Structure 1
Amino acid sequence: MGLFFNFSVCLFSALGSFLFGYDSGVIGSVVSKQFDQFQTFFHNPGPDIVGAIVSTFAGGCFFGAATAGSLATRIGRKRTIQIGALIAVLGCSLQTGARNVSYLIVGRLIAGFAIGCLSMVVPLYQSEISPPEIRGFLTGLTQFMISIGFLVANWVGYGCQFLRNDAQWRVPLAIQIFPAALLFLGMFILPYSPRWLVEQGRHDEALAVVQRLHGTEENTEFIKLEFAEMLEQIQYEREHYSTKFSDLWSTKPMLRRTLTGIAVQVCTQFTGINVSSYFQPTLYAALGLSGSKILMITGINGALGAIMTIIFIYFILDRVGRKPPLIFGAIGMSISLAVEAAINAKWGGVDSTNHPAQTAGVAFIIIFSALFFSCSFGPVSWVYQSEIFPMRIRAVGTAVCTCANWAANVLISQVSPIGMARLQYRFYILFVVTNIANALIVFFFFPETKGKSLEEMDAVFGDQVIPHALETKQVHNVTAEDEKSGGSDV
């Protein structure tokens, strides 16, 4: 079935990422002043309550991601996605039926647990079923669907602001139930990760999945070598290494993998993207904009972000690699935020009537997120963390990195309403500095992983122990002793 089937599986599983983007995007509209029915129903919640509503979701995500690592190892990537989707149905239903702030926060906590689980396991699943030459594109579909989720959320928010009853905020929250239910049901017909099947000793099933995902009449030799490399590496790891949590830092190469995986996610949060994502209407209001125009601009920004993401992952990411876009994006975001701070300092404020300044301010918010973030940390962070760990510890390592993402997310989403209210334009300067730091961290410490199979990452990080079949062009690359205890049977 080949590439189209592989693409379809990755795209459908990315419904979990759509939920991530939709929930993150819709809450910015729901808690905004434009949703007056929400403000009335919840008695005009202050910045601390709004911060709690937003950050509780991220807190749930942290624990969901932590739990998913163990689940994905024990029951598989596919079943873990289904569990996450089912919990999402529950959490989103509770949000939709909320009767008070506590009810809403509990719903967001449960939904956050589900999204945290999905945010960890979906890119892991995509990475393990993708051929190395287009893994950036297929795993990058995670960020594309996050962008689509934001896009849909923004336009739903724009449309629902005109409703004059509780449906104004209940309908946007209810919509997310449907993709969660679809993901749960649809995953029944999608394949297991072939690498997880090998780990379970189900070699025939694994080979059949690889052939469905990557096989054509022209590449039978590649399939043979790819599966041999997968089989030999996983069996060697199983025979010679443990799968303890402490393996994440037990050797220098493993410690480097763990630190770079955590760093790419923490750096992603410290770009400032979630200040823009969660509180975008507030940023536009600070420029003097008001009314329905705010949510319309938010929707346009979401559309541009989705377009730039798909262009980047399809045409650029697998050609130029991971490091150059991260450095380019960090520098671009730093410049954009510096200009934004200057505009807000001189011409900002809710009473501003300087239309050219407002236009420029809006433009640089869009350039920051739709251009520089969508072509750097947005997609690359999910690709990078999912491809750097060896199979024996991949799910746990990916979970730790995703937990780092959500821990930083909680911090930023909780303090941002207070920071924007008290520091105003100066709040941008914080992220000017952190983006400069991001560029330096990537330049000096991140290895390039472009074009390598998941089994070949040991050579990238300096802990290779056996030759790779795709390099040697032969299927037996372990010693005779090793073959007796679990070598290749291809």
Structure 2
Amino acid sequence: MKQFGNVYLIAGISIIGGGLFGFDISSMSAIIAGKSYLCYFNQGDVPCTGPEANVQGGITASMAGGSWLASLFSGILSDRFGRKKAIMTGAVIWVIGCIIVSAAQDIPMLIVGRVINGFCVGICSAQVPVYISEVAPPTKRGRLVGAQQWAITWGIMIMFYISYGCSFISGPAAFRIPWALQMIPAIILFVGMIFLPESPRWLASKDRWEECEQVLVLTHGHGDPNSPWVAREFQEIKEWLDVERQSKAISYFTLFTPRYINRTHIGLFTQIWSQLTGMNVMMYYITYVFTMAGLTGNNLLVSSSIQYVINVVMTIPALIWIDRIGRRPTLLVGSSLMATWLIINAALLGGLGKRVPNGVDGIKEAKIQVTGPASKAVIACSYLFVASYAPTWGPVSWIYPPELFPNQLRGKAVAFTTSGNWAFNFALGYFVPPAFETITWKTYIVFAVFCVAMTVHVYFMFPETAGKPLEEVTEMFEDPNGIKWIGTPAWRTKNYYSTAIRMEHGEGIEKKLSHDYSPERNETVQPEKMA
């Protein structure tokens, strides 16, 4: 069967797995404020008020709960059967979940379906970045892996407008139709993956060297078996795999050994911090926020949808420049800006907001309301928050973890770090509705503090990985003098994008791309100085 080697096509198909997560986000955010949903799943004595706040949090968080569990097992599935088959398995699971969700007769059935959907999202969110990072060349790796976040934003926006259109349908069809339509991209993902190659690094780990070389020729050599870049990549994979196999057996416990614990903590916190930015507030529960800003009815849904458009558009700069700019500056700027908008929103709601004991328009989670210029400012800061997250923590949280680990450990490592994303996604999905109901505007302060903390953490602990082949990132973490968990201080690491560009064009192919050390001076020597 013919396989396609264009790395942009490979990424374009595989990131549909990320788009499924986006579909789920907005299918909930657009539907939970709809009359059909509120009436059908009503729990209170008052008709059409929907589930209780903690139950709604549980419904929303159930998908993340399934994702957490599946992301942990996805590493084992991916390492045993391959990256492709793991992603295709996720697509099949998604279709099953969508059938159950769209046919849900009550809240328990809805939760079961969303947990099954979560199994798919857990597998795909963990293994799609691994697959793309192992196929992509260093100079394109950031934008291609980051495209998963772009797919998520497209999924959010498309599904929101589908749900908005269906909101004019009367009865349960208003939410059953959009939930059923979610299975279409999963079918496209399954069929598309059939025509894509397997990860060359996974093939190498199974000693399928001929297939590994063929994939490198197809994807990196543009069909030229004599490409010097392919020869270098193939040799480097071979050398590093030999080194890795001399170590002890690879398992999840390996992540916590002195050699890897630093990388594990960085990868895990990349995913945890991406959730603690507060983006969940803006995605899942934006209708609550804008209700507090005085918007109702169609104005509420249309204004909420603008942030999804912003999310799509503002992710594009990251796809274009993330490899040139690097990971560290992107994360630092993003967290600083988000902290600013969160603090302003807290000040506006806390200082100028009027308390509404029974909730604005009967929505229990919206117990503060602002009007006039303050209302416009809350909406503006919400948009600016999304515009700050979209090109920074959104894509980098998927790009960064797969770059930190060696080949044999990457599948399990990214599965574990992604499980941190889903554990906190679950916790926050459950936490936010009761938080809005009880501590109201102080919810923003909580997330602002997290954004300040992550800025400090990134500066001191997160090294730069842009432009480095995956096999050479290890050298930043392993001091040649034998102190395995220290390596190069994060703030001294550099972006080697320009050097990688020259090497991909055959210039200086014999030179070592990654940094080296001068033992006498105990400092980093940049590749440009290694002629």
Which residue in the other structure is 1:133 paired with?
Answer: 139
Matched, 1:436 2:463: no
Between 1 and 2, higher relative CO (CA 8 Å, sep ≥ 6) is seen in: 1
Which residue in the other structure is 1:40 paired with?
Answer: 39
More helix by share: 1
Which residue in the other structure is 1:262 paired with?
Answer: 268
Distance 1:4 1:75, change over 3 A: closer
Instruction: Select the residue among 109, 124, 135 that pairs with 2:130.
Output: 124
Which residue in the other structure is 1:486 paired with?
Answer: none
Which residue in the other structure is 1:49 paired with?
Answer: 55
Distance 1:204 1:340, change over 3 A: same
Instruction: Select the residue among 394, 409, 419 that pairs with 1:378.
Output: 394
Which residue in the other structure is 1:473 paired with?
Answer: 510
Retained in 1: the 8 A contact 2:66–2:119?
A: yes
1:404-437 CA deviation, whole Å, 9 max, x = no partner?
A: 1111111111111000111111110101111000
TM-score (norm 2): 0.84
Which residue in the other structure is 1:90 paired with?
Answer: 96
Retained in 1: the 8 A contact 2:229–2:509?
A: no
Retained in 2: the 8 A contact 1:2–1:213?
A: no
Structure 1 runs (4+) deviating above 4 angstroms are 1-4, 469-472
- Measured after TM superposition, the shift of residue 153 of structure 1 is 1.9
CA distance in 2, matches of 1:344, 1:463: 50
Which residue in the other structure is 2:407 paired with?
Answer: 391
- Measured after TM superposition, the shift of residue 120 of structure 1 is 0.4
- Measured after TM superposition, the shift of residue 59 of structure 1 is 0.4
- Measured after TM superposition, the shift of residue 217 of structure 1 is 7.8
Which residue in the other structure is 1:368 paired with?
Answer: 385
Which residue in the other structure is 2:27 paired with?
Answer: 26
5 Å matches for 1:22-421?
Answer: 22-32=23-33, 35-43=34-42, 44-216=50-222, 220-251=227-258, 253-314=259-320, 316-348=321-353, 350=360, 354-369=371-386, 371-421=387-437
TM-score (norm 1): 0.91
- Measured after TM superposition, the shift of residue 304 of structure 1 is 1.2
Retained in 2: the 8 A contact 1:157–1:295?
A: no
Structure 2 counterpart SS, 1:201: coil
- Measured after TM superposition, the shift of residue 355 of structure 1 is 3.2
1:119-172 CA deviation, whole Å, 9 max, x = no partner?
A: 101111111111001110010011010111111122122222221121111112
- Measured after TM superposition, the shift of residue 3 of structure 1 is 11
Q: Out of 235-244 and 420-429, give the one that drifted further.
A: 235-244
CA distance in 2, matches of 1:60, 1:215: 39
Retained in 2: the 8 A contact 1:47–1:417?
A: yes
Which residue in the other structure is 2:497 paired with?
Answer: none
CA distance in 2, matches of 1:11, 1:446: 28
Retained in 1: the 8 A contact 2:4–2:10?
A: no
Matched, 1:449 2:453: no
Distance 1:244 1:283, change over 3 A: same
Q: Which structure 1 segments of 5+ residues have no match? A: 476-490
Q: Which amino acid in structure 1 is aligned with residue 13 of structure 2?
A: F
Retained in 2: the 8 A contact 1:288–1:348?
A: no
Q: Which amino acid in structure 1 is aligned with residue 337 of structure 2?
A: G
CA distance in 2, matches of 1:306, 1:291: 24
Q: Which structure 2 segments of 5+ residues have no match? A: 43-49, 355-359, 362-368, 483-499, 513-531
CA distance in 1, matches of 2:450, 2:182: 33
CA distance in 2, matches of 1:232, 1:25: 45
1:210-231 CA deviation, whole Å, 9 max, x = no partner?
A: 1111124898111111121112
Distance 1:163 1:65, change over 3 A: same
Retained in 1: the 8 A contact 2:3–2:196?
A: no
Q: Which amino acid in structure 2 is aligned with residue 196 of structure 1?
A: W
Retained in 2: the 8 A contact 1:2–1:216?
A: no
Structure 2 counterpart SS, 1:189: coil
- Measured after TM superposition, the shift of residue 4 of structure 1 is 7.8
Retained in 2: the 8 A contact 1:194–1:206?
A: yes
Retained in 1: the 8 A contact 2:332–2:458?
A: yes
